[in-house]
Amino acid sequence: MQAVIRTGGKQFRVRPGDVIKVERIVGKGGDAVEFGEVLMVSDEAGDLKVGSPLVGNARVKGKILNEEKGKKLIIFKFKRRKGYRRKNGHRQVYTRVEITGIES
């Protein structure tokens, strides 16, 4: 069984047992999380349900493993001959989630 979910503005194809890295979800390690925005679900028999845009009554359940920071991105703005320079950095916080089940 597999599904396509949408979270944090991105889409992920998941199966039970997969570990995915999504944008921060509020919660602690071990907390249960449920994704309601399911775009597609297929089961072992090969039946495929595609939503328009979402599949009704489909849910993907998971468990939060931990939070981690991504690599540092440098944002540098510059205009030549004007003396304008701005340097900024950003580290996105991600949450690792283990997929425990898919309901359709």
Residue 45 has a pLDDT of 87
Q: Is the pLDDT of residue 6 over 90?
A: yes
Q: Is the pLDDT of residue 46 over 90?
A: no
* Residue recorded with tokens 């089961």: 43
* Residue recorded with tokens 């599949």: 55
Looking at residues 43-64, what average pLDDT do you find? Answer: 92
Nearest C-alpha neighbor of 90 from the set 64, 70, 62, 61: 70
pLDDT tens sequence across 60-92: 999 999 999 999 999 999 999 999 999 999 999
pTM assigned to the model: 0.83
Residues 6+ apart with CB under 8 A from 99: 14, 15, 16, 17, 18, 19, 20, 60, 61, 62
